[in-house]
């Protein structure tokens, strides 16, 4: 098992290999092999992650930390940012979630995407996503994490717009990418400010998470707050929090397994993971944590209300995801990092399952996504129904299922933590009731009541390779919560103790200390009361939802009739998209057009003017060249040619003529030699006379 200490890099390597094979050999391998290979490689990564987990379990609790620095990258003086992967208790959880849920969704995709012409490309993207996500969670420094961070963003864009021949899908992909870019800008600013201020105030330039968390308390409070807020801006973009949540519902344009893997289980939780990674930094900036918790709570409530009125099954789940992500931020924002990550894990199970179940329903109804044309699918799709029930009860917070434990832990911490407040608890509490209500509405409208699908639809159960992952996730939904049973229910809260080494820092209380603080603050009686209250609100939500949508359909109808404006507001998501369009997009377009005109008139004018000038100058220089330089050269050539023309006349080809010339020259020469003595004095006289 010690082998894995220096071989952490093999975990992301597997899906990367998959990407290369699919791209370069996919055509030759064929669909079937590509599907098998993609699943197999992710499964190997999962196996390696389990090895990492076992290895960490071997070590004593406070030494559960593997660092594999396998490739130097940036080294300047004392500063270094290397390709180094870190497996501590936090990243081990993320590893298991990413590879485990990822594997199940890969298997599911082999069924769901079976008839798609771009099957091979789909798996190449999916493997690339898994690779990027693994780099993100394993990275030991911020720069490396940023590579994974951007990589998952790219894959998200590629997969949302996977069916890009429909313009809407391509637009949704662009929207996701651009909104994420806003967040990434904030994230990058935060990282650079952090890097600079760490160097300035502590003398250590570093990007390593552990170093940052250790040094963070030495930062001035204002800087720590600014860094915390900027980083949270990045997290809000990636994890779809107010005000940057608008891309996630549109991201449902992608294939459903993508929605399950990227936009529910893994990528969108990267922001929560990032905050937990910077736990030391956030603990030294309590105001930033307050913002995180408040935004998280408001997002949880806000998007839960939108989910009440949506009719697209995937849109409901999307807003539910935004809402649940808000819970996670509420958790990490009140310093309960382990509770946030715990909810992240259980959410990956039940929301992944909900999306896969929804995908199965859509698959069975040949692409129908509208809840108003579903109903009575229980007997038609028994496996989908059964597994969906587990996920529904888990997300609704039904006692004993995974979602109950994690959500309750967050609510209790929101109330009792030193960073918490009763108002935060109240918002989360209301959102929990709404969650139970809209999920019940979804379930009733999909599986119960009268059938509203057309006669010729013939819904059918999905193939085995889709139902088996559903079943596995359903089991996880049911039992996944038992790793974190709180003390009040006579559990050991194993999960919290497990997370402790990764999120406990000198600056404040993380993990168990926060729990102790909570124990001081509130008695067990209070905790039991709050737990009873949240169970009560969950059951109430389920009950009302069930009663209203299966017995008294007239009540929601009457409510819509009574408050049509309110209904329209909620249905249209409070017109936030329109607001952004008007406020940001239109103004940006206006600015772009203005700068386009400036470009045309001034920049292009300058360029064209200088081109015109150059043209004139070169015309003159060309004329000089033609007339004088070429004239001289041609003149010489002409003279030579004329002389040659004359001289060629004596080259007649007649040998006798040549000989005649030769003889004549000899005769003249001989005559000259003979006559020279008599000519010479005469010539000399002539010469001197001339001078």
In the complex, which residues of this chain contact other proteins (CB under 8 A)?
A: 647-648, 650-656, 659-660, 663
Of 575, 559, 555, give the one whose Cα is nearest residue 567.
559
Indicate the helix (H) or strand (E) that contains 404: helix 402-416
CB of 689 to other proteins, least distance (A): 39
Nearer to other proteins, 479 or 663 (CB): 663
CB of 680 to other proteins, least distance (A): 26
DSSP 463: P
Q: How far is CA 539 from CA 85, 89, 378, 398, 506, in A?
A: 44, 34, 22, 7, 40
Nearer to other proteins, 117 or 653 (CB): 653
Of 156, 151, 366, give the one whose Cα is nearest residue 252.
156
CB of 679 to other proteins, least distance (A): 24
Torsion angle defined by CA atoms of residues 574, 577, 578 and 584, in that order, rounded to the nearest 10 degrees: 130
Nearer to other proteins, 456 or 648 (CB): 648
Q: CB of 511 within 8 A of CB of 499? A: yes
Nearer to other proteins, 565 or 651 (CB): 651
Nearer to other proteins, 655 or 690 (CB): 655
Of 589, 536, 402, give the one whose Cα is nearest residue 597.
589
Of 345, 277, 280, 351, give the one whose Cα is nearest residue 494.
345
H runs (alpha helix) in 522-553:
524-546
Nearer to other proteins, 647 or 673 (CB): 647
Nearer to other proteins, 423 or 664 (CB): 664
CB of 626 to other proteins, least distance (A): 33
What is the per-residue DSSP string for 654-687? -HHHHHHHHHHHHHHHHHHHHHHHHHHHHHHHHH
CB of 675 to other proteins, least distance (A): 18
Nearer to other proteins, 611 or 647 (CB): 647
CA distance 174 to 600: 27
CA distance 342 to 347: 8
CB of 655 to other proteins, least distance (A): 6
Q: CB of 213 within 8 A of CB of 505? A: yes
CA distance 296 to 289: 10
CB of 657 to other proteins, least distance (A): 8
CB of 664 to other proteins, least distance (A): 10
């Amino acid at each position: 098992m010690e082998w894995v200490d220096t071989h952490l890099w093999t975990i992301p390597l597997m899906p990367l290999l998959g990407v290369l094979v699919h791209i370069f050999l996919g055509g030759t391998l064929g669909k079937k092999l590509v599907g098998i290979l993609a699943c197999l490689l992710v499964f190997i990564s999962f196996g390696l992650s389990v090895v990492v987990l076992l290895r960490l379990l071997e070590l004593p609790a406070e030494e559960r930390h593997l660092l594999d620095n396998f490739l130097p990258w940036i080294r300047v003086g004392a500063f270094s940012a290397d390709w180094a992967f870190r497996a501590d208790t936090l990243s081990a959880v993320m590893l298991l979630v990413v590879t485990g849920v990822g594997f199940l969704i890969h298997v599911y995709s082999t069924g769901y995407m079976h008839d798609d012409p771009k099957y091979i490309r789909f798996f190449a993207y999916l493997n690339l996503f898994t690779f990027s996500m693994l780099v993100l969670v394993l990275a030991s420094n911020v720069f490396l994490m940023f590579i994974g961070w951007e990589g998952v963003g790219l894959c998200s864009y590629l997969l949302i717009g996977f069916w890009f021949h429909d313009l809407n899908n391509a637009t949704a992909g662009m929207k996701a990418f651009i909104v994420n870019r806003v967040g990434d800008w904030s994230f990058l600013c935060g990282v650079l400010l952090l890097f600079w201020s760490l160097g300035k105030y502590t003398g250590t330039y570093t990007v390593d998470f552990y170093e940052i968390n250790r040094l963070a308390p030495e930062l001035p409070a204002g800087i720590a707050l600014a860094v915390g807020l900027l980083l949270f801006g990045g997290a809000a973009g990636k994890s779809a929090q107010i005000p940057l949540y608008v891309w996630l519902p549109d991201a449902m344009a992608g294939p459903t397994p993508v929605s399950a893997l990227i936009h529910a289980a893994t990528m969108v939780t990267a922001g929560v993971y990032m905050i937990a990674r910077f736990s030391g930094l956030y603990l030294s900036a309590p105001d930033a944590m307050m913002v995180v918790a408040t935004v998280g709570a408001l997002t949880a409530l806000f998007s839960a209300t939108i989910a009440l009125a949506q009719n697209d099954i995937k849109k409901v789940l999307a807003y539910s995801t935004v809402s649940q992500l808000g819970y996670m931020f509420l958790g990490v924002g009140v310093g309960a990092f382990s509770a946030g990550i715990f909810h992240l894990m259980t959410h990956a199970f039940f929301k992944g399952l909900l999306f896969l179940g929804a995908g199965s329903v859509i698959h069975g109804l040949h692409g129908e996504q509208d809840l108003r044309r579903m109903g009575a699918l229980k007997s038609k799709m028994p496996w989908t129904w059964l597994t969906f029930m587990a996920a529904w009860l888990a997300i609704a917070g039904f006692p004993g299922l995974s979602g109950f434990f994690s959500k309750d832990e967050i609510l209790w911490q929101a109330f009792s933590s030193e960073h918490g407040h009763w108002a935060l608890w109240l918002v989360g509490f209301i959102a929990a009731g709404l969650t139970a209500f809209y999920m019940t509405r979804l379930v009733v409208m999909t599986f119960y009541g009268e059938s509203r699908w057309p006669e010729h639809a013939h819904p059918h159960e999905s193939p085995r390779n889709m139902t088996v992952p559903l079943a596995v996730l359903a089991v996880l939904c049911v039992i996944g919560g038992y790793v974190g049973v709180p003390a009040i229910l006579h559990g050991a809260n194993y999960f919290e103790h497990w997370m402790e080494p990764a999120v406990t820092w000198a600056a404040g209380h993380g993990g168990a200390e926060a729990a102790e603080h909570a124990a001081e603050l509130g008695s067990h009686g209070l905790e039991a009361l709050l737990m009873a209250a949240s169970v009560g609100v969950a059951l109430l939500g389920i009950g009302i939802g069930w009663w209203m949508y299966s017995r008294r359909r007239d009540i929601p109808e009457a409510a819509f009739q009574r408050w049509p404006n309110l209904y329209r507001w909620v249905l249209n998501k409070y017109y936030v998209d329109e607001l952004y369009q008007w406020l940001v997009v239109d103004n940006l377009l206006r600015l772009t057009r203005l700068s386009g005109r400036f470009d045309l008139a001034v920049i292009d004018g300058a360029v064209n003017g200088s081109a015109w000038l150059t043209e004139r100058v070169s015309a003159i220089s060309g004329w000089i060249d033609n007339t004088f330089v070429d004239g001289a050269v041609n003149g010489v050539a002409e003279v030579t040619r004329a002389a040659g023309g004359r001289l060629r006349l004596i080259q007649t080809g007649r040998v006798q003529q040549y000989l005649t010339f030769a003889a004549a020259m000899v005769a003249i020469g001989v005559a000259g030699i003979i006559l020279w003595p008599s000519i010479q004095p005469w010539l000399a006289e002539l010469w001197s006379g001339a001078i």
